[in-house]
Each structure stands twice: as C-alpha cells, then as structure tokens.
Structure 1
Amino acid sequence: MKEAGPPESQRGRIERMGVLSLVGRVLFASIFLLSAYHEDSEFGSDGGPAAKYLEPKFNVFIKQVSTSTGMAVPHVEIKSVILATMYIRVFGGLMFILYSSVGAFLLLVYLVFITPVVYDFYHYKMESPQFVQLFTQFSQNLALCGALVFFLGMKSSIPRRYSKRRIAKSKTT
C-alpha cells in the first residue's frame, strides 16, 4: 500500500518548515505576551504606569473622534481599556502560536486601534525628539501589522496538508 502525500525526501523538509514556523510564531507572539505580562505586574488599583501614560492620549483620541463624528463617545474607564488590551494580547498571542487566524486577527485589531493612540507623532513638530521616537515606534507597529496581514494571507492561500490516509488498492480476485 502506498501513502498519499509528498515523497520521502520532501517530508523532512516539510517537518523542518513546521518547526521553524512554530518557533517564528512563538517569537512573534512573545512581543504581545511579554508586554501584557509586564503591564499586569504593574497594574495595581489605579491601572499602573500604563494607565497614567495612556489616559491623556486616550482622552485626546476620544475628543477627536467625537468632534469628527459629531457623536458623543461614552465614557470608558481607562483601567477597563488597559485590561481589555491585556486580554486581547494574551488570548491573541496564544491563539497565534497555535496557528490560528483568530489570534492573528485579534492581534491585528489590537495594533490597528492602539497604534495611532499611543504613538501620536502627528502632534509634534518633525524636528522634535518626541516626533522621531514616536514615529519610529509607529513604524514598527505598522511592520507588525504587515506581518500579521501577510500571515493571514498566506494562511488562506496555502492548501491543506497532504492527507495521511492510505490509498486502498483495488482488490483483484
């Protein structure tokens, strides 16, 4: 009986690619997992340093959204925002490690919403050091978004693995 699937010489290469893919996903997800762990360890009753840093930027963002849309944005507690982003990073990172499109999508949504709020380089003059620092970090997050979009695109374009079922030979009598 002959197995369906790639020839023996390609199996080893496919297995190595699978291991390298897992290592890459773990390294990529570690950015999100470690940052969530760091925020959690400093969280405290007031939301920690992340809340102190994010609150003024978040308030400016909310004000801009309500001004440009003409609708009042409901008040959201900054601690809730910090907790929600921590959970999204942890759940999305773990799902991404497990090769899930849902995990990649959650991390992408997190980056799309948090990047323009936290790295608001557009509020500074180009000559200022804050502009350079924030623009660099903004660009890095854009690169992470690009990697996630690439992952989602590749995941949808790669055919499923070869079937490991054996092909039954027809019986002759």
Structure 2
Amino acid sequence: MGFVSFLGRVLFVSVFLLSAYQEIIEFGVYGGSAGMLVALKYNTLMNHVISHFAVHLPEVEMKYLVGAAIVLKGLGSFLFIFSSSFGAYLLMPELIELLFKFLQNLALVGALLFFLGMKNSIPKRRDKKKAPKSKTN
C-alpha cells in the first residue's frame, strides 16, 4: 500500500512539475506569459487598493513573482512526494483559483437545475374543451 500511495503522490505532483517546467521554458526577460498574467492581476489589485484606500502599492517586477511561484511549485512538489503536509500547503494556492471556478460552475449548474425543476412543477395548460358526455339510456 505504501508504494501505491507514493505512486499516487508522484502522479498528482506531476501536474505541478510539468506546469513549473513549462513556466521555466517560457520565462524570458519579463517572466513570459505567466508574467503578463500576473502583471494584469497586480495592476487590477493596485487600482482597487488605490481607489478604496488611497494607498500606493510598491512596484514589483513580475519576473520575481513568477520565479517565486516556480520555486514554490517545485519545493511543494518535492515535499509532497515525501508525504510532508507542508508541501500540500505550498501547492494549495495553485488550486484556489480552480476551486473558485469550480464553485462558480457548480452554482450555475444548480441554478439551471432549479429552473428546470420549477418549469416542470408548473402544470401545463389543459385545453378548455369539455369532455364528451356519455349517453345513458
């Protein structure tokens, strides 16, 4: 059972390791495509903080944030393979965005099922034709 557990952890972590490898390949000068995505999110956060709190956040180079994410993926993966719960905590922030998307999709499916249930619970209109009377002799 120990080998199967180890193999399961290795297969699970392979997703994170392949993602980190792809980000390393695309890294480039500004952090690659991940750097552009982080820059968009950082600018949105900065505009939100400035508009609500009138506080300016410090400028950060995105390549450092992407590099830190790659290191956290690698370290978290290595620790998770050897059954460290700290490795699981390091990998968890990667899945939070997916969790939010999953919960949003789950809510939408629930709303559609509710709509279908309500639509089927309303009785359909019946024709107002009177049923023919049977003749009694």
Normalised-by-shorter TM-score class: 0.5 to 0.7
Instruction: Quote the residue 1:50 is aligned against.
Output: 34
Q: 1:89 to 1:64 in 2, by over 3 A?
A: same
The 3 A distance-change label for structure 1 pair 93 and 67 is farther
- TM (normalized to structure 1)? 0.52
* Mapped pair 1:138 → 2:122: no
**Cα gap change, 1:35 to 1:137, in 2 (>3 Å):** farther
Q: Count residues with an aligned counterpart.
A: 103
CA change 1:72–1:111 in 2 (3 A) is: farther
Identical-residue share of aligned pairs (%): 38
Shift of 1:102: 0.9
- 1:62 aligned partner, one-letter code: M
Of 20, 35, 43 in structure 2, the residue corresponding to residue 59 of structure 1 is: 43
SS at match of 1:89: helix
Q: Name the counterpart of 2:120.
A: none
Q: 1:109 to 1:137 in 2, by over 3 A?
A: closer
Q: Which amino acid aligns with 2:47?
A: K
Contact 2:26 2:33 in 1 (8 A): yes
Structure 2: state its 5+ residue gaps: 104-137
Q: 1:44 to 1:100 in 2, by over 3 A?
A: same
Tell me, in whole angstroms, the C-alpha distance in 2 between the residues paired with 1:66 and 1:37: 35
Matched, 1:92 2:91: no
The aligned counterpart of 1:79 is 63
**Contact preservation (8 Å) 1:50, 1:82:** yes
Q: 1:71 to 1:110 in 2, by over 3 A?
A: farther
Contact 2:46 2:56 in 1 (8 A): no
**Greater relative CO, 1 or 2 (CA 8 Å, sep 6+):** 1
TM-score after normalising by structure 2: 0.64
3-state SS of paired residue (2:91):
helix
Match of 1:102 in 2: 86
Partner of 1:26: 10
Whichever residue aligns with residue 97 of structure 1, its letter is I
CA gap of 1:24–1:44, structure 2 versus 1, over 3 A, is same
Mapped to 2, the partners of 1:69 and 1:82 lie a distance apart of: 27
Q: CA deviation at 1:69?
A: 5.1
| Shift in Å, 1:68 | 4.5
Whole-angstrom distance in 2 between the partners of 1:108 and 1:38: 19
* Structure 1 unaligned regions, length at least 5: 1-15, 120-135, 141-173
Instruction: Please tell me the root mean square deviation across aligned C-alpha atoms, in Å.
Output: 2.5
